């Protein structure tokens, strides 16, 4: 239950609104309503049974379902039967055809975003699948698709073009559904990308020569740029391996330069002589640490206090001033700073720390900090609005964190 919500009863209007929201409105991608038909491609969103290849991300097609009817007239999906597409092994469950598996509905706690950007925490029972009529370039990585219709018009980089087109098993099954910007793949590579390809080609040459036993002993660095520097000192800066593509070949007019060599700090294994205890070690030093060669000792706080003695400041007075500096809470009020409930599933601890600090700053003077936050950027503007809702007890810091 949402801490702000006073009841768990959802109004019919809100219930209908939640059912009609797309799956992306749920942070767990749990669909409120699945519009299915026999032959519909779907993707599993939960590890139902790994031994039966029913894993998250597995693809298949609908072959049937079992449902029941609620008093309000809605059909409730109880079990969905899916024929897995190219599973790693043949699955045979009694009473079902090969590679057909049953998926039952399960309860899942999720946060749903409403059309007005408000969020509500609910527990939803649903068969955890999504209609699989299309996917992003990111989601398609690692998948081979015999029939691969692609929409390149929305791709933002040539890497995205490559990912979409390389999912095809052959050119016969590739369909480009609309036009695209050819400059995205013909405008030339950036300088950083050209440098990356050049370095990889040199490393390939080094690997090949090492395999053949033709690499001299002087090319032996453990770091990438050091290895290339050594190779260039051996072969010369103008040497270009034969397999380098003509688009990235280098010469004296377009030299191949790499960053300076990064040298590691020398390692030294220090062995303790336990038979001869160190008589010079101070009695108060119980750490057992050994000072590294070349390190600069850090002046400890007691030493600073001793220096203060020479300036007519006693150790007691220094400690007293230090305690007052640390524990003076007159500027933060009587109450402790408000914190957040940790999200153990998404490991929100870093965000919790940041949000607590920002809320503590904002809470000192909301009028001033609202203006300052809004003038920073769009994210801080949203954060200030969320903090205002928290102050009015219309929302929680956890909702603000998740929204950001």
Contact (Cβ atoms closer than 8 angstroms) between residue 309 and residue 364: no
Domain enclosing residue 274, as ranges: 189-300
Tell me, yes or no, whether 203 and 164 share the same domain. no
124 and 30, same structural domain? yes
Tokens matching residue 213? 């036993």
Question: Would you state the pLDDT for residue 317?
Answer: 53
- At what angle are helices 366-376 and 349-364 packed, to 10 degrees? 130
In a domain, 138, yes or no: no
Tell me: do 259 and 156 sit in the same domain.
no
**Does 268 lie in the same domain as 168?**
no
For residues 77 and 93, state if they share a domain: yes
Is the domain of 29 the same as that of 120?
yes
Alpha helices in 89-171 (DSSP H): 158-165
- The answer to the question of residue 371 being in a domain is yes
Indicate if 255 and 178 belong to the same structural domain. no
Domain boundary among 300, 322, 340: 300
Residue of 124, 194, 127 whose CA lies nearest to 158: 194
Q: For tokens 């933002």, what's the residue? A: 156
Same domain, 158 and 214: no
Residues 247 and 280 in one domain: yes
The pLDDT of residue 154: 85
CA–CA separation, 40 and 62 (whole Å): 5
In this structure, the answer to whether residues 222 and 274 fall within a common structural domain is: yes
338/361 Cα distance (integer angstroms): 11
- Residue 328 domain-assigned? no
CB 148 within 8 A of CB 174: yes
Q: Is residue 332 part of a domain?
A: no
Element of type H or E holding 206:
helix 191-212
* pTM of the predicted model as reported, rounded to 2 decimal places: 0.52
- Same domain, residue pair 172 and 197: no
* Tokens coding 8: 């768990």
Rounded Cα gap, residues 28 and 31, in angstroms:
9
d(CA 180, CA 378): 31
Dihedral of alpha carbons 39, 41, 46, 48, sign: positive
Instruction: Please tell me the predicted confidence (pLDDT) of residue 328.
Output: 44
Instruction: Kindly give the confidence (pLDDT) of every residue in the chain, 404 residues in length, as a single tens digit, with 9 standing for 90 and above.
Output: 444 555 677 888 888 899 899 998 888 889 999 999 999 999 999 999 999 999 999 999 999 999 998 877 888 999 999 999 989 999 999 999 999 999 999 999 999 998 888 888 898 999 999 999 988 888 888 888 888 999 998 888 888 999 999 999 999 999 999 888 888 888 777 888 889 999 999 999 999 999 999 999 999 988 888 899 999 989 988 899 998 998 899 988 888 887 677 666 677 787 766 665 555 544 445 455 556 665 555 554 455 455 555 555 555 554 555 444 444 444 444 455 677 887 877 778 888 888 888 888 888 888 888 888 888 888 888 888 888 888 888 888 888 888 88
Same domain, 259 and 279: yes
Per-residue pLDDT, 91: 94
**40 lies in some domain:** yes
Which pLDDT value is given to residue 339? Answer: 74
Q: How many domains does the chain contain in total?
A: 4
Q: Does residue 19 lie within any of the structural domains?
A: yes
């Amino acid at each position: 239950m949402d801490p702000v919500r006073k009841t768990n009863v959802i109004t019919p209007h809100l219930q209908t609104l939640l059912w009609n929201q797309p799956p992306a409105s749920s942070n767990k991608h749990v669909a409120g309503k699945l519009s299915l038909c026999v032959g519909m491609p779907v993707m599993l969103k939960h590890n139902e049974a790994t031994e039966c290849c029913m894993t998250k991300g597995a693809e298949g097609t609908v072959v049937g379902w079992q449902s029941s009817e609620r008093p309000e007239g809605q059909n409730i999906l109880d079990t969905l039967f899916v024929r897995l597409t190219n599973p790693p092994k043949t699955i045979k469950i009694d009473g079902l055809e090969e590679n057909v598996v049953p998926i039952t509905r399960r309860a899942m706690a999720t946060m749903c975003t409403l059309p007005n950007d408000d969020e509500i925490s609910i527990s939803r029972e649903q068969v955890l699948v999504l209609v699989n009529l299309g996917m992003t370039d990111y989601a398609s990585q690692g998948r081979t698709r015999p029939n691969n219709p692609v929409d390149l018009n929305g791709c933002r980089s040539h890497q995205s073009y490559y990912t979409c087109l390389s999912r095809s098993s052959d050119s016969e099954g590739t369909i480009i559904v609309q036009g695209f910007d050819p400059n995205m793949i013909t405008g030339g590579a950036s300088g950083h990308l050209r440098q990356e390809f050049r370095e990889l080609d040199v490393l390939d040459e080094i690997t090949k020569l090492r395999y053949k036993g033709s690499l001299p002993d002087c090319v032996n660095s453990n770091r990438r740029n050091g290895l290339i520097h050594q190779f260039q000192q051996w072969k010369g800066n103008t040497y270009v391996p034969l397999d380098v593509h003509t688009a990235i070949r280098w010469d004296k007019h377009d030299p191949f330069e790499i960053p300076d060599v990064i040298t590691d700090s020398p390692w030294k294994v220090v062995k303790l002589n336990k038979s001869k205890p160190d008589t010079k070690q101070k009695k108060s030093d119980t750490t057992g640490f050994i000072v590294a060669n070349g390190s600069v000792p850090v002046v400890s706080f007691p030493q600073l206090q001793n220096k203060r003695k020479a300036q007519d400041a006693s150790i007691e007075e220094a400690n007293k001033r230090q305690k007052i500096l640390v524990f003076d809470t007159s500027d933060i009020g009587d109450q402790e700073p408000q914190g957040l409930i940790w999200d153990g599933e998404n490991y929100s601890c870093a965000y919790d720390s940041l949000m607590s600090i920002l809320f503590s700053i904002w809470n000192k003077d909301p009028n001033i900090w609202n203006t300052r936050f809004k003038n920073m950027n769009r994210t801080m503007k949203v954060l200030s609005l969320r903090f205002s809702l928290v102050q009015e007890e219309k929302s929680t810091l956890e909702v603000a964190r998740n929204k950001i």
